[in-house]
Amino acid sequence: MTIREKSCIGIMVAVPAECSILTRRLRKATEANLLYYKGNLSGRPVVVVVSGIGKVNASHAATRLIREHKPDLVMNIGVGGAYASAGLAIGDIAIAEKEIYGDEGVLLSDGLHDLTTIGLPLLQKGRKKYFNEFSLDRELIRRALRSIDADGVSFAFRTGPFVTVSACTGTTKRAREIEKRFHAICENMEGAAIAHVCARYGIPLVEMRGISNLVRDRDLSGWNIGLAAENCQTAARKLISAV
């Protein structure tokens, strides 16, 4: 993967709180009902787009970002929930090795089966077929890990599969089902859609999320969205400097 010295980095978030620190010195603009921030971070041109939550909003924003601003890479940052076996605490950072659509497939008597069961890929490029899973850029993952580990930080971090769902998981029972099926460490609502669009256009993608909560019986009193968003932006800033 080659990143040009002055190339644009596209940064995607779902809501403004996930980029509020990064965008303090960037120019704010609204284009066709999408919120953008433009400027430089760590000497690199960046375009930050706030997509709104969910897969459709994320797909629309990612397509417009790529077609109109032509970034050499896309960073998807924000907050997410960690599954129990991930060993992540609130405020830690999860980095996606791959993104998985958790809802697409066919529901049979023994549960949900992915799209390979019906043989219909979401995307085909040449001979490669993408069903539910989209692998993310390995070199960007390595750079993200090195950049975070290069300087002392107050949070832990690890890599693993992410699952994108349409409905947030709010029970421990359902969390265990998803975790077991996909061996996932983190749950979110946009990542697979952004990975899908980036794969279609051949744009490298890295996804990092601060852990705001553990995925279990829903109890907002134990969440810390602010800390998760702050730490993820710290990690993102380090990666921007590294690329």
State pLDDT tens for residues 157-196. Answer: 999 999 999 999 999 999 999 999 999 999 999 999 999 9
Number of domains, the chain: 1
| Strand 133-135 relative to strand 205-214, pairing | unpaired
Does 238 reside within a domain? yes
Give the model's confidence band at 149: pLDDT under 50 very low, under 70 low, under 90 confident, else very high.
confident
Does 184 reside within a domain? yes
Phi, psi of 61 (to 5 degrees): -65, -40
Residue 32, by phi and psi: left (phi above 0), alpha (psi -120 to 50) or beta? left
Residue 20 contacts residue 85 (beta carbons within 8 Å):
no
Q: CA 25 to CA 27: how far, in whole Å?
A: 7
Q: Name the 3-class secondary structure at 7.
A: coil
Indicate the pTM of the whole model. Answer: 0.95
Residue 52, by phi and psi: left (phi above 0), alpha (psi -120 to 50) or beta? left
Does 24 reside within a domain? no
Give the model's confidence band at 6: pLDDT under 50 very low, under 70 low, under 90 confident, else very high.
low
Does 58 reside within a domain? no
pLDDT tens per residue, range 29-60: 998 889 999 999 999 999 999 999 999 999 99
Does 155 reside within a domain? yes
Does 214 reside within a domain? yes
In the block, residue with structure tokens 């999860």: 94
